[in-house]
Amino acid sequence: MIVFKEITNENLDVILPFIKLLNPKTEEEILIERLKQLKSNINYHCIGMYLNNTLIGISGYWLLNKLYVGKHLEPDNVMILPEFRNKKYGDLLINHIHAIAEKENCEASELNVYTNNSAGIKFWINKGYRILGFHMQKSFKP
Protein backbone atom coordinates (compact mmCIF):
# COMPACT_ATOMS: atom_id res chain seq x y z
CA MET A 1 0.00 0.00 0.00
CA ILE A 2 1.27 3.47 -0.93
CA VAL A 3 1.27 6.16 1.74
CA PHE A 4 2.50 9.75 1.45
CA LYS A 5 3.98 11.42 4.51
CA GLU A 6 5.60 14.76 5.06
CA ILE A 7 9.25 14.35 5.94
CA THR A 8 9.76 16.91 8.66
CA ASN A 9 12.92 18.93 9.13
CA GLU A 10 13.83 16.76 12.12
CA ASN A 11 13.79 13.66 9.85
CA LEU A 12 15.09 15.22 6.63
CA ASP A 13 18.31 13.20 6.84
CA VAL A 14 16.36 10.12 5.64
CA ILE A 15 16.48 11.55 2.10
CA LEU A 16 20.30 11.57 2.03
CA PRO A 17 20.58 8.22 0.15
CA PHE A 18 18.24 9.61 -2.54
CA ILE A 19 20.16 12.88 -2.76
CA LYS A 20 23.44 10.98 -3.09
CA LEU A 21 22.01 9.04 -6.04
CA LEU A 22 20.82 12.27 -7.67
CA ASN A 23 24.16 14.02 -7.09
CA PRO A 24 26.86 11.36 -7.43
CA LYS A 25 29.62 13.89 -8.14
CA THR A 26 28.98 15.94 -5.00
CA GLU A 27 30.81 14.97 -1.84
CA GLU A 28 28.61 13.56 0.91
CA GLU A 29 29.78 16.19 3.42
CA ILE A 30 28.60 18.95 1.09
CA LEU A 31 25.21 17.27 0.64
CA ILE A 32 24.85 16.91 4.41
CA GLU A 33 25.63 20.60 4.89
CA ARG A 34 23.12 21.58 2.21
CA LEU A 35 20.43 19.44 3.82
CA LYS A 36 21.20 21.14 7.11
CA GLN A 37 20.67 24.53 5.47
CA LEU A 38 17.37 23.41 3.92
CA LYS A 39 16.03 22.59 7.37
CA SER A 40 15.97 26.28 8.24
CA ASN A 41 14.13 27.39 5.08
CA ILE A 42 10.41 27.87 5.73
CA ASN A 43 9.59 27.61 2.00
CA TYR A 44 11.06 24.11 1.63
CA HIS A 45 9.03 20.95 2.26
CA CYS A 46 9.53 17.29 1.48
CA ILE A 47 7.13 14.42 0.85
CA GLY A 48 8.04 10.78 1.19
CA MET A 49 6.34 8.00 -0.74
CA TYR A 50 6.21 4.79 1.26
CA LEU A 51 5.41 1.31 -0.02
CA ASN A 52 4.67 -1.03 2.89
CA ASN A 53 6.53 1.33 5.26
CA THR A 54 9.61 1.49 2.97
CA LEU A 55 10.62 4.89 1.59
CA ILE A 56 10.73 4.42 -2.19
CA GLY A 57 10.36 7.97 -3.46
CA ILE A 58 10.78 11.59 -2.47
CA SER A 59 9.93 15.01 -3.71
CA GLY A 60 11.10 18.16 -2.14
CA TYR A 61 9.05 21.19 -3.05
CA TRP A 62 9.21 24.93 -2.67
CA LEU A 63 6.23 27.21 -2.18
CA LEU A 64 7.26 30.42 -3.90
CA ASN A 65 5.82 33.63 -5.27
CA LYS A 66 7.35 35.32 -8.30
CA LEU A 67 6.09 38.29 -10.26
CA TYR A 68 5.84 36.50 -13.59
CA VAL A 69 3.90 33.46 -12.34
CA GLY A 70 2.44 34.28 -8.91
CA LYS A 71 2.22 31.71 -6.14
CA HIS A 72 3.55 28.40 -7.36
CA LEU A 73 4.94 25.08 -6.26
CA GLU A 74 8.34 23.97 -7.51
CA PRO A 75 9.05 20.23 -7.23
CA ASP A 76 12.73 19.67 -6.42
CA ASN A 77 14.84 16.50 -6.25
CA VAL A 78 12.00 14.27 -7.36
CA MET A 79 13.12 10.68 -7.30
CA ILE A 80 11.81 7.14 -7.23
CA LEU A 81 14.36 4.47 -6.32
CA PRO A 82 15.60 2.76 -9.51
CA GLU A 83 14.07 -0.62 -8.69
CA PHE A 84 10.59 0.97 -8.44
CA ARG A 85 10.69 3.01 -11.64
CA ASN A 86 8.46 2.42 -14.66
CA LYS A 87 5.67 1.15 -12.41
CA LYS A 88 3.60 4.36 -12.28
CA TYR A 89 4.88 5.36 -8.82
CA GLY A 90 6.21 8.60 -10.29
CA ASP A 91 2.72 9.43 -11.54
CA LEU A 92 1.29 8.87 -8.06
CA LEU A 93 3.96 11.05 -6.47
CA ILE A 94 3.43 13.93 -8.89
CA ASN A 95 -0.34 13.69 -8.58
CA HIS A 96 0.13 14.06 -4.83
CA ILE A 97 2.41 17.08 -5.31
CA HIS A 98 -0.15 18.67 -7.64
CA ALA A 99 -2.86 18.12 -5.01
CA ILE A 100 -0.67 20.00 -2.52
CA ALA A 101 -0.31 22.85 -5.04
CA GLU A 102 -4.07 23.04 -5.44
CA LYS A 103 -4.62 22.96 -1.67
CA GLU A 104 -2.10 25.82 -1.32
CA ASN A 105 -3.98 27.82 -4.00
CA CYS A 106 -0.99 27.87 -6.34
CA GLU A 107 -1.43 29.31 -9.79
CA ALA A 108 1.13 26.99 -11.35
CA SER A 109 3.92 24.51 -10.85
CA GLU A 110 7.32 24.88 -12.45
CA LEU A 111 10.61 23.06 -12.18
CA ASN A 112 14.09 22.56 -13.53
CA VAL A 113 15.23 19.49 -15.44
CA TYR A 114 18.69 18.93 -16.88
CA THR A 115 18.87 19.20 -20.67
CA ASN A 116 20.65 15.83 -20.91
CA ASN A 117 17.88 14.08 -18.95
CA SER A 118 15.70 13.03 -21.87
CA ALA A 119 13.67 10.58 -19.76
CA GLY A 120 12.96 13.33 -17.23
CA ILE A 121 11.99 15.81 -19.93
CA LYS A 122 9.59 13.26 -21.44
CA PHE A 123 8.12 12.50 -18.00
CA TRP A 124 7.42 16.15 -17.22
CA ILE A 125 5.99 16.88 -20.66
CA ASN A 126 3.64 13.91 -20.19
CA LYS A 127 2.57 15.51 -16.91
CA GLY A 128 1.52 18.69 -18.73
CA TYR A 129 4.65 20.81 -18.26
CA ARG A 130 6.06 22.74 -21.17
CA ILE A 131 9.51 24.07 -21.83
CA LEU A 132 9.55 27.85 -21.40
CA GLY A 133 13.23 28.72 -21.45
CA PHE A 134 16.63 27.88 -20.11
CA HIS A 135 17.78 27.57 -16.53
CA MET A 136 21.09 29.38 -16.39
CA GLN A 137 23.79 29.34 -13.75
CA LYS A 138 27.04 31.09 -13.00
CA SER A 139 29.34 29.32 -10.57
CA PHE A 140 31.41 31.32 -8.10
CA LYS A 141 33.47 28.34 -6.94
CA PRO A 142 35.60 26.01 -9.04
- Locate the domains of the chain by residue range: 2-126
Within the chain, which residues score under 70 in pLDDT?
none
* 2-126 is a CATH 3.40.630.30 domain: yes
Chain mean position to CA 130: 17
Query: In this predicted model, what pLDDT tens digit does every residue of 16-29 receive, in sequence order?
Result: 999 999 999 999 99
Report the predicted TM-score, pTM, of the whole model to 2 decimal places.
0.92
Q: Which of 56, 129, 113 is nearest to 86 (CA)?
A: 56
Any residues with CB less than 8 A from the CB of 98 and at least 6 apart, and which? 109
